[in-house]
Amino acid sequence: MKVLVTGGAGYIGSITVERLIEAGDEVVVFDNLYQGHRAAVHPDATFVEGDLANRAQVDEVMAAHRPDAIMHFASHTLVGESMEKPFLYLGDNVTNGLNLLQSALAHGVKRFILSSTANLFDQPERMPIAEDERIVPGSPYGESKFILERMLYWLDRTMGLRYAALRYFNAAGASPTRGEDHHPEYHLIPLVLQVAQGKRDKITIFGDDYPTRDGTCVRDYIHVMDLADAHILAMRALDQGSRTYNLGNGAGFTVKEVIQVAREVTGHPIPAEVGPRRPGDPAVLIASSDKIRRELGWQPRYPDLRDIIASAWQWHQAHPNGYGDRPS
Ligand code: UDP
């Protein structure tokens, strides 16, 4: 298939592009390089630098390449930032997605995969979290993804769009050639590895008084390559109907467990100190991925936290300055 990938220069997008190309698909990456990296784009993909806010640019890429499907990764993605700058999310994330959808349908593109989020489930009533859990977005970020999910629902009913909404839990790890390089970095695993690399003195644990086995928050870390493969499986299944999946490993690890595994993987003592809770952090988030396993036969190949952290460590060691295009 010919696939248009927005945000294909970003962390999850670039690794999905790599997997698509390995699977024999043709890829066009559309990215404004605001957070992404030109060097992360697979050399066999066509790269178009452009902005989803600019409808004419989106129409141009759509008309020039006539994709069979779209994977939409390009987004502002930070919960904390969305609480401070809500219009980046309730505005840009929503209007950029709308531009992309309007352009896609105007050009007859009817297969669409959305990067959605576990931030739809701020007050889960059951754990692990299944697709039919009550939706309570935890922030303007989560709300922006929920608004896009609802657009997809209605565009399926009214215009025959076939979509998959994939709600990621905690993406982590790296492929042998592509990894996570955010500026600034806010995510636990890359921050912990920065301590092992000597870029930081210590890691701060955001609260140890949660009702969990060691008092620190539990999260479901999923290997980015398993996430990428789920996109490809979902895309191939779209002609049988639209679908929504939660994507995680189904196992949760505490912040302290992540730090301990990172110590073992890196051989570095990784000093940690306990600080206050980070506002808005739920105690436990674990996905049920039963639905995608049952319907598409998806199986995570790297469910082991040690393998996930080891792959990230390998990439960071080989790329100590990430893609090298931003000051560290
Ligand atoms: N966390 C932490 N210290 C840090 C960064 C994150 O204790 O410097 C915790 C955070 O409170 C959460 C978990 O690590 O419980 C994962 O956070 P991350 O930001 O990686 O992902 P999130 O779960 O927010 O999507």
- Give the per-residue pLDDT at 171: 97
- Give the per-residue pLDDT at 90: 98
What are the tens digits of pLDDT across the range 134-168?
999 999 999 999 999 999 999 999 999 999 999 99
Cα–Cα nearest to 305, from 230, 222, 185: 222
* 267 inside domain: yes
Examine the pLDDT at 92 and tell me if it is beyond 80.
yes
Beta bridge partners of 172: 223
Q: Note whether 8 and 150 are same-domain residues.
A: yes
> In this prediction, does ipTM exceed 0.85?
yes
Ligand 1: atom nearest CA of 118 is 25
Q: Note whether 19 and 98 are same-domain residues.
A: yes
3-state secondary structure at position 316: helix
219 lines ligand 1 (CB under 6 A): yes
Do the beta carbons of residue 238 and residue 69 sit within 8 Å? yes
Q: Note whether 53 and 70 are same-domain residues.
A: yes
Rounded average pLDDT over 7-33 = 98
CA of 114 to the centre of ligand 1 (A): 23
* 288 inside domain: yes
* 76 inside domain: yes
- Give the per-residue pLDDT at 232: 98
Examine the pLDDT at 327 and tell me if it is beyond 80.
no
Rg (CA), the chain: 19
* 181 inside domain: no
Rounded average pLDDT over 210-226 = 97
| Coarse DSSP helix, strand, coil percentages of the chain, rounded to the nearest 5 percent | 40, 20, 40
Q: Note whether 7 and 48 are same-domain residues.
A: yes
What are the tens digits of pLDDT across the range 254-273?
999 999 999 999 999 999 99
Examine the pLDDT at 24 and tell me if it is beyond 80.
yes
Q: Note whether 156 and 25 are same-domain residues.
A: yes
Which residue is catalytic, options 141, 163, 221, 245? 141
Length of the chain: 328
Rounded average pLDDT over 291-305 = 97
**CATH number, domain with residue 270:** 3.90.25.10
Round to whole Å and give the CA distance between 181 and 269.
23
Q: Note whether 53 and 112 are same-domain residues.
A: yes
Decide if 168 is catalytic: no
Residue nearest to atom 18 of ligand 1 (CA): 187
Cβ neighbourhood burial of 278 (10 Å; 0-12, 13-18, 19+): middle
Rounded average pLDDT over 53-60 = 98
Neighbours of 274 (CB within 10 A): 14
Q: Note whether 34 and 126 are same-domain residues.
A: yes
Name, in order, each residue with C-beta under 8 angstroms of 175's C-beta and a sequence gap of 6 or more.
15, 18, 224, 225, 311, 315
First CA to last CA distance, the chain: 37
205 lines ligand 1 (CB under 6 A): yes
CA of 237 to the centre of ligand 1 (A): 33
Identify the band that residue 73 occupies on the pLDDT scale cut at 50, 70 and 90.
Answer: very high
Beta bridge partners of 168: 117, 247
CA of 234 to the centre of ligand 1 (A): 28
Q: Note whether 166 and 193 are same-domain residues.
A: no
Cβ neighbourhood burial of 42 (10 Å; 0-12, 13-18, 19+): buried
- Give the per-residue pLDDT at 328: 61
CA of 148 to the centre of ligand 1 (A): 25
Q: Note whether 241 and 279 are same-domain residues.
A: no
CA of 252 to the centre of ligand 1 (A): 13
Identify the band that residue 250 occupies on the pLDDT scale cut at 50, 70 and 90.
Answer: confident
* 177 inside domain: no
The one-letter code for the residue type at 283 is A
Range of the domain at 72: 2-172+222-247
- Give the per-residue pLDDT at 280: 78
Average pLDDT of the chain is 97
Q: Note whether 44 and 155 are same-domain residues.
A: yes
**CATH number, domain with residue 35:** 3.40.50.720
206 lines ligand 1 (CB under 6 A): yes
E strand or H helix at 291, and its extent? Answer: helix 290-296
* 98 inside domain: yes
What are the tens digits of pLDDT across the range 170-204?
999 999 999 999 999 999 999 999 999 999 999 99
* 328 inside domain: no
Examine the pLDDT at 279 and tell me if it is beyond 90.
no
Identify the band that residue 281 occupies on the pLDDT scale cut at 50, 70 and 90.
Answer: confident
Round to whole Å and give the CA distance between 138 and 312.
28
Poorest-confidence range of 57-66, 106-115, 151-160, 318-327?
318-327
170 lines ligand 1 (CB under 6 A): yes
Quick one: residue 118, left, alpha or beta (phi over 0 = left, psi -120 to 50 = alpha)? alpha
E strand or H helix at 4, and its extent? Answer: strand 2-6
pTM: 0.97
Report helix angle 305-318 to 188-196, nearest 10. 60
Instruction: Say how far residue 146 (Cα) sits from the centre of its chain.
Output: 15
206, 232, 247 - which closes a domain: 247
Q: Note whether 127 and 38 are same-domain residues.
A: yes
Which of 121, 145, 187, when mutated, tests ligand 1's pocket best, judged by the most ligand atoms within 8 Å of its CB? 187
Ligand 1: atom nearest CA of 205 is 7
188 lines ligand 1 (CB under 6 A): yes
* 93 inside domain: yes
Q: Note whether 81 and 166 are same-domain residues.
A: yes
- The tally of domains found in the chain comes to 2
CA of 106 to the centre of ligand 1 (A): 40
191 lines ligand 1 (CB under 6 A): yes
Round to whole Å and give the CA distance between 47 and 50.
9
Do the beta carbons of residue 44 and residue 66 sit within 8 Å? no
Identify the band that residue 2 occupies on the pLDDT scale cut at 50, 70 and 90.
Answer: very high
* Owner of token pair 């600019």: 54
E strand or H helix at 104, and its extent? Answer: helix 94-106
